[in-house]
Structures are given as structure tokens and as C-alpha cells.
Amino acid sequence: MRTRREFITLLGGAAAWPIAARAQQSGKAVRIGFLGAGSQATAGVWLSAFASRLRELGWIEDRNINIDVRWAEGRNDLSAEMAADLVRLKVDVIVTYSTEHTQIAKQATSTIPIVFALAADPVGSGLVASLARPGGNLTGLSTQNVDLTSKRFELLREIVPSLRRLAVLSNGNNPTSMTEINIVRTAASPLGIEVSASEIFGAEDIAPAITRIAKQADALFVVGEPLTFTHRTRINTLALAAHLPTTYATRGYVEVGGLMSYGPNFPASFRRAADYVHKILLGAKPGDLPVEQPTRYDLVVNLTTAKALDLTIPESFLLRADEVIE
């Protein structure tokens, strides 16, 4: 006869049984929910990087793992519906990115493990208790966008030394936008550079916002997040027509006409997110897995855009760039 203590131990062991083992025992493939804040067209390459790393770790789609993909197109309302849908499907792990969409996933479940591939300020935004000990059901990777804001501003000034008026374009629904705006203002104030902020809430706001910005700014600082990334081509087209140099947080903006970017390598972050998922499937608790900070940063500049803007990029800047798009 088993004692009560032994019985409780057995129950605890069953609850902690690795997801992979339980799936193998039942003959069912592990189910991953991928909540894409953007779209297949704009962020599909990140999903591919994630799935590729899973394959390297032995997780083969349609064999021992299934990935249910949802694309929210930068819309919070769609993201909330899709997060609820993934919870109803009882997926084993939810993978997402961006602070606001990770918060939406967190609101949808407190039990299903959540791995965020990109989050600007996971501690400050309340996603996790600390980087070292996240706690709860979330873990992942911090993009450190907020910490890199000053550096992006400095790099823009190297390219546009005559900068006197700077506009910051952000998603008004993004909780970290104001932090970045304030950092830019703090960095610009001692230099006598005037900073103005323009908010957008949807695609329809982009053209009017850039029309206003063109009348009052010499350059455009775009806060990186799903809405601006999803519509980055439109932003770049309008900014170029208005003769506005632009700076961004990641390469994806620059490859479609942005002037420059400085920030983490996003495909590398999604590959690391797959490592987190692998550990969780093998039994690790997300709250015990430290949130990682980026190890690779890319400085990218688009020479074609620079020429269209009649800007001469200093040779010293080009030598430091990780990639020059021509």
C-alpha cells in the first residue's frame, strides 16, 4: 500500500512529466501555437528560422510536432481572438513576439508556456518578474530596443549632421513607445535638436502622419513594433517622397527602402526561441529559464536610399556597417 506522501509525489511527477514524453506515450504530435504579430509576407522569414532550428533539434513538422500559425496583421483585436483560439486548441506551447502581443498571450493563459522571441522591455512592461528568474509561464528573449534607442539616434546624426528637427513615429497602442520617445528627447535636448512625436493606430494613419512630419522635421525615427513593421514599405515610400532620412530597429525596414537600422538580428532571436521551446518540451519550466539578451547586433545602411536623399555616407560609417545594401 502506498503512503499519502508517495501518492502526492506520484501526482507531482505526472504533472511535471515532459510534454515530449506525454506526447510520445499518447502517440500524438506536440502542438505549438505560433501567434504572429505581423503577417506571413512581412514576418514569414522569422517563422522559417524558428521552424528550421526546431528541425535541427529533432522536431519535424507533421511527424512529431505540429505548428498552428496565426497572423494578426499588427492588430491587437485579431491577436486577442487568435490567442484565445490557440488556448482552446490546448497547444503545448505558444510562441509569439512584440511586447503588446506577448501581453495579449499572457492574458489569454496563465498555464500554457509562452515563449516570446522579441520583447522590447520584458521586465519594465511586466511580462516577467526579472530576466534571471522570469517566474510564471513566460520566458524568451529581450530585444533591448529601449537600451539601443540612444545609439540609433547617434548613428542617425552621423549620417545627417545637419539634423535640427527630428520626428518620432510610433504606434499609439504600443506600451513601450513613450519610453523610446523620451529617450530620444533626452539625447536630443543638449544638442538643441527639437523632437516631435506622431502616433499612428492603423495603416490609414500613416500617410497623414508623414505629411505632417514632412513639414516639421529633417528626419524620421520609427519605433520598431508590429504595426510599423507590417507597413514598413508604405512608410518608406512616403518618407522617401518627402525626402526624409529614416532610422529603424532592424534590417527588415532597410531592405525595403529605409535608410539605416541598428538592432538585434531577428532571425537569430527566433532560432534561440526554438531552443527555449525544445527545453520546455523536455520538461523545463518557462519561469525557471532566464530571459536572454541579444548577442548579435546589426548595423545596416541602404546606399540606394542614401543616394536618392542626396546623402553622402561617411566612409568610417560604411566600414562599421555589418551590411550595405546597394
- Nearest CA-CA partner of 50 in 323, 278, 295, 279: 278
**pLDDT for res 121:** 85
Residue 154, classed as helix, strand or coil, is helix
Q: Which runs of consecutive H residues, i.e. helices, occur in the chain?
A: 4-15, 19-26, 40-56, 76-88, 99-108, 145-159, 177-188, 206-216, 226-230, 232-241, 251-254, 266-281, 303-308, 315-320
Is the Cβ–Cβ distance between 268 and 78 less than 8 Å?
Answer: no
Q: Residues, the chain, total?
A: 326
Is the Cβ–Cβ distance between 245 and 220 less than 8 Å?
Answer: yes
Q: What is the pTM of this model?
A: 0.82
172 beta partners: none
The position carrying cell 518540451 is 281
- Domains delineated in the chain: 4-144+266-295 (3.40.50.2300), 145-264+298-325 (3.40.50.2300)
The Cα-based distances of 118 to 67, 130, 245 in angstroms read 19, 16, 26
Q: How far, in Å, CA of 256 to CA of 235, rounded?
A: 10
**pLDDT for res 67:** 97
Interior angle at CA 312, CA 310 and CA 314, nearest 5: 165
**pLDDT for res 15:** 44
**pLDDT for res 174:** 81
Phi, psi of 160 (to 5 degrees): -120, 75
* Contacts of residue 264, Cβ cutoff 8 Å, sequence gap at least 6: 118, 143, 144, 250, 294, 296, 297, 298
65 beta partners: 30, 61
Q: How far, in Å, CA of 11 to CA of 1, rounded?
A: 16
Per-residue pLDDT tens, the chain, 326 aa: give them.
Answer: 444 444 333 444 444 457 766 665 656 799 999 999 988 988 999 999 999 999 999 999 989 999 999 999 888 889 999 999 999 999 999 999 988 899 999 999 999 999 999 998 899 889 999 999 999 999 999 987 667 899 999 999 999 999 999 999 999 988 778 888 999 999 999 999 999 999 999 999 999 999 999 999 999 999 998 899 999 999 999 999 999 999 999 999 999 999 999 999 999 999 999 999 999 999 999 999 999 988 888 999 999 999 999 999 999 999 999 999 99
**Residue 117 CA, distance from chain mean position:** 7
Q: How far, in Å, CA of 159 to CA of 128, rounded?
A: 37
**pLDDT for res 5:** 41
Q: How far, in Å, CA of 77 to CA of 231, rounded?
A: 17
Lookup: cell for 36? 504572429
